[in-house]
Copies of this chain bind each other. A is one copy, B any other.
Amino acid sequence: MTFSGFDHVILLAHGSTDPLWKLPFEIIYEKIVSASPREKCSLAYMELSEPSLKSTINALDASVKKVAVLPLFFSVGRHLRHDVPAMIKDLQRDDLSIELLAPIGDDDRIQKAMVDAVKGHLGETQ
């Protein structure tokens, strides 16, 4: 499952009323933008935390035409099946395509890393 060629990727986390909850996402975001141009990647929250998906999309540079929304979720539930597609439908414009990707937990690279992490905890050779 490899997509490519988007102008911009928005990492979409769930959001929480817990102020500490955002920190690991911010750390991951900083790692990503230390490896990719910062203007090509944003971090947004589906609910409860700011910035929202809407404000993030509205703040994109006019030159951005093709956006991917990459959910930082392990699985697809009601949010990714209904809520986020509805948000994206409202935010699509003639001059801006927005594609909802599969959740990052589906990515082969993440799954391989999870297998390696469990082997590490069991003290198995990697």
Binding site for B on A (CB under 8 A): 2-6, 9, 11, 13, 16, 18, 20-25, 27-28, 31-32, 35-36, 40-41, 68, 70, 72, 74-78, 81, 101, 103-107, 109-124
Contacts and interface: CB of A to CB of B under 8 A. Distances in A.
B120 A32 contact: no
18 contacts: A4-B120, A4-B123, A5-B123, A18-B81, A20-B76, A20-B77, A23-B75, A24-B74, A24-B75, A25-B75, A27-B111, A32-B114, A32-B119, A40-B122, A101-B121, A104-B114, A107-B113, A109-B117
Given A4-B122, A31-B115, A105 B24 contact: yes
The 4 closest A-B pairs by CB, nearest first: A4-B123, A109-B113, A113-B113, A5-B123
A91 B21 CA distance: 26
A78 B18 contact: yes
A77 B113 contact: no
Given A5-B122, A28-B115, 15 more contacts: A4-B123, A9-B121, A21-B76, A24-B74, A25-B75, A28-B105, A31-B111, A32-B115, A32-B119, A36-B119, A70-B121, A74-B74, A109-B117, A110-B114, A110-B117
